Structure 1
Amino acid sequence: MGASQTGPARRHLLQGLGAAALLAGTAGTAGPASAAARRGARPVPPDRIGFGLYSIRSMLAEQPEAVLELLAEAGYAEIEPAYDYGGLSPSAFRAATDAVGLRVVGSHHNPGDFRGDLAGPTLERAAVLGQRYVGVSYMDGEETPDGYRRMAEEMNGWGELARSYGLRWYAHLHDNEFRTAPGTGQVLFDIWLAETDPRLVDFELDLYWILRAGVDPGPYLDAHERRFPLLHLKDGVPTEGVETDLGDSSVDFPGILAHLRHPAAHHYVIERDEQPDPPRTARRSYDYLRSLRVRPLPLPR
């Protein structure tokens, strides 16, 4: 490893990782997980636990290789970049992830990156990284039923194009998609479910943001599990806009994940949009999710 990975900045990152481990050890994650384990519950598949690089974007911009090493040492199997690769070219980033044993599962882009002349290079970069999924962090159409129908048509086209590169296209969800259109009683996201082709378009369900919208994710996972191959996990108090590391607050991850009939078919991407200590977020959140045991809900009769 070159000198750029062995200087003070890298030592600071890895020291932060060590401090995070101590904090995680005193945070008390064993309660709900231990109780569930006694009833034969299952773990989250460790080879499907990932980290969203947007959560560590400032450090990534300064020392991308050190950040990847940090995440690998924390135990992660997968990562999800957002918008860039820490200043590295796609091929250099792929080499860096391969070197530490991380896989790129998907990547977030702006909607404009799939329009016009930008679409080809965006998909080519994703193909170089060896990822399975490629998508947007948000959609930018009009927040009306007609607007959502137009967006659904556009997403179908992007999904078709992504498939030609051997990729699956997806859209990350926030709270706004789960609003009810005034005067119609129709949930806007339900338009996407009905009018996007499941062969072409997937969704990344953010468990924090759907709770922020006041919507129970359970029924969506029950009815449309295969449309959500990627899940975003962050803890906090969604109704108040408060975010924390996993295991430090009130989101009922065991209860939500119990709705999954095929847990190994999903990718569990940890993130925290704004946080004071990214190394602690990485270690604390990974350790919590690894300790978690989920008791599947009984199949409906």
Structure 2
Amino acid sequence: MTASGRPLRAIQQIQIGQVTSTESQARDTLARLASAGYEGIELNGFMTRPTPLFVRALTKAAGMPVGRGGRLDWPRLVAESGLSVVAVHEDLGAIESETMAVAARAAGFGTRTVVVTGMYRFDYGDDSAVTRLARRLDAAGRALAAEGMRLLYHNHTAEFRRLGSGRAAWEVLVEQTDSDAVGFELDCFWAVTAGADPLALLDRFGERVRLLHITDRGSRVTGPTMTPIVKVDSVELGTGNMAVDAIITRSASLHVDAVVVETHKNWIDGSPLRSAEVSGEVLRRLLP
């Protein structure tokens, strides 16, 4: 958050993984982001240190290529760029087993926010499993708080599966976690993809949301098609059909710390940086 109280304009590191594999690439990319009006960056633990081939393969298979920048000196590169680190993504298991190390890495980047990036091989349709996850998040949040950190949870689509109770798993996680221990990073694209309404979620749970992820949702298909059905994907802010202006304006009124742009593919001109610049124009308009 800026001194004036508005959210920082930020970007997720995953978007620039392909153009930060070398030090010169990373330096140029970060400088270009700053020139485009970005003030912050959200980092991923697995992209700021050497990444096992298995992890890179999993993220690539999920449509999130991470590049080969894990051996770079990210604390120095980010500091030189002038960008603030708004948070670092880590997995819950690492937070639980290496709390002090995770906190120290985050502190080394100048942030006190650690984000759980969702659960792998987890049944979000199981009431008991979701309740146990809430307890784990509470415990991890308290452990991080003892190290001067705070914990946020980031959603994808699975959290909006319906439980036997009829409620969505995300709703249960918000209600069953301690607000002093756990906050949330609402990813609007995944919420909309799952059929949820980000504005309704912000109206109901906004005080728990400390970071906002956003990209627009639409299609790049041009010209005639065989059928009226076209593929829907992430697109730059202002080029799709999500209520981007209303969502960002609402999040600003809730004083979230940052609005974070994140796309993994389908970039305009095939360029993650050109995509960031187009979305950055919208952020500058809405968050002057």
Please report the TM-score for the alignment, with normalisation by the length of structure 1: 0.75
Amino acid at match of 2:33: L
Amino acid at match of 1:84: M
SS of residue paired to 1:155: helix
Q: 2:127 aligns with which of 122, 137, 145?
A: 145
In structure 2, relative to structure 1, the CA distance for the partners of 1:293 and 1:130 (3 Å cut) is: closer
Q: Which residue is 1:27 aligned to?
A: none
Q: Which has the higher contact order (CA 8 A, sep 6+)?
A: 1
Q: Which residue is 1:154 aligned to?
A: 136
For residues 40 and 106 of structure 2, the distance between their equivalents in structure 1, rounded to whole angstroms, comes to 15
For residues 50 and 293 of structure 1, the distance between their equivalents in structure 2, rounded to whole angstroms, comes to 11
Compute the displacement of 1:172 (Å): 0.8
Deviations 1:143-202, CA, capped at 9 Å, x for gaps: 211111111111111101111221111111111111212x43121112111111111111
Q: Indicate conservation of the 8 Å contact 1:171/1:203, yes or no.
A: yes
Q: Indicate conservation of the 8 Å contact 1:222/1:260, yes or no.
A: no
In structure 2, relative to structure 1, the CA distance for the partners of 1:285 and 1:121 (3 Å cut) is: same
- Structure with greater helix share of residues: 1
- The answer to whether residue 228 in structure 2 is matched with residue 219 in structure 1 is no
- The answer to whether residue 18 in structure 2 is matched with residue 58 in structure 1 is yes
- The answer to whether residue 258 in structure 2 is matched with residue 278 in structure 1 is no
Amino acid at match of 1:59: V
For residues 282 and 249 of structure 2, the distance between their equivalents in structure 1, rounded to whole angstroms, comes to 16
Q: Indicate conservation of the 8 Å contact 1:172/1:206, yes or no.
A: yes
For residues 5 and 282 of structure 2, the distance between their equivalents in structure 1, rounded to whole angstroms, comes to 13
Amino acid at match of 2:47: D
Alignment size in residue pairs: 247
Please report the TM-score for the alignment, with normalisation by the length of structure 2: 0.78
Compute the displacement of 1:100 (Å): 2.0
Q: Which residue is 1:69 aligned to?
A: 31
Deviations 1:35-69, CA, capped at 9 Å, x for gaps: xxxxxxxxx97761100010111212233222222
Compute the displacement of 1:261 (Å): 6.8
For residues 150 and 253 of structure 2, the distance between their equivalents in structure 1, rounded to whole angstroms, comes to 19
Computing the radius of gyration over CA atoms, which structure comes out larger, 1 or 2? 1
Q: Which deviates more, 118-127 or 169-178? A: 118-127
- Which ranges of structure 2 fall in alignment gaps of 5 or more residues? 49-68, 220-229
For residues 264 and 190 of structure 1, the distance between their equivalents in structure 2, rounded to whole angstroms, comes to 21
- The answer to whether residue 246 in structure 2 is matched with residue 255 in structure 1 is yes
Deviations 1:20-45, CA, capped at 9 Å, x for gaps: xxxxxxxxxxxxxxxxxxxxxxxx97
State the Cα RMSD in Å. Answer: 2.4
For residues 157 and 248 of structure 2, the distance between their equivalents in structure 1, rounded to whole angstroms, comes to 19
SS of residue paired to 2:21: helix
